[in-house]
Amino acid sequence: MEPRRPPGRRPGNPGTRDAVLAAARAAFAERGFDGASVRGIAAAAGVDPALVHHYFGTKDKLFLAAVEAPVDPADLLPEVLTAAPEDRGAAVVRVVLRLWDGPARPGILALVRSAVNHEWSARLLREFVLTKVIRRVVGSIDMPVEERQARGALLASQVVGLVVTRYVIQLEPIASASREDLAAAIGPTLQRYLTGEVDLPGAR
């Protein structure tokens, strides 16, 4: 008798999976998350769209695999989105620091370094930050779309600056400060970018 196959999906062809990922990276970098489609990615890879779903499940999971994201922000954002509106700036700081201080740190650092050295990696990282983090944080705020975009960009600039200062160049005292100290110091600035009075870029 033939041995029974273990339950679950059959292992796929690594070459086919790599072709799908290559096509996905090109599509997301060129057209963004919203503009890229599973059908178009499948066509570029020369496979049936059903095979893309077989390998990756959803477009969201395909995108995370394409950017080699070590963590899904959807698992962390509820802490921010359920915080009181006046506390969301500090909540963003806490989540970012907990993420970087955890086991996903090497993967995130590799993603950032790749973005610095390669244009397509920078596009993918920008799309990742925009669609998976910034939009969801500012999307719950009742304001015009253009204002959300501007506030989201300001928020991203502060978060990226914090990450580079603490983890890349390790500037003291930020490098060794506690999460709560940094949340208290930087949270109000993020809160102002989210909901406070600020001269928004492009508003004049």
CA dist., res. 106 & res. 182, Å (int) = 21
- The pLDDT value recorded for residue 45 is 92
Looking up tokens 């201080």, which residue turns up?
101
User: What pLDDT is recorded for position 1?
Assistant: 44
- Residue 173, preceding peptide bond in cis (omega within 30° of 0): yes
pTM for this entry: 0.73
Q: Compute the distance between CA of residue 36 and CA of residue 109 in angstroms, rounded to an integer.
A: 26
Spell out the domains of the chain, with CATH numbers in brackets: 14-66 (1.10.10.60), 73-195 (1.10.357.10)
- Measured CA angle at 136 (ends 154, 32), to 5 deg: 80
Residue 31 DSSP symbol: H
pLDDT in tens, the chain (204 residues): 434 444 444 444 668 899 999 999 888 888 888 888 999 999 999 999 999 999 999 998 898 888 887 778 778 888 888 888 889 999 999 998 988 888 878 877 877 777 777 787 788 778 887 777 888 888 877 888 888 889 988 998 898 889 889 988 899 999 999 999 999 999 999 999 999 998 887 655
Q: Phi, psi (5° rounding) for residue 83? A: -70, 155
CB 14 within 8 A of CB 55: no
**Looking at residue 172, what is its pLDDT?**
97
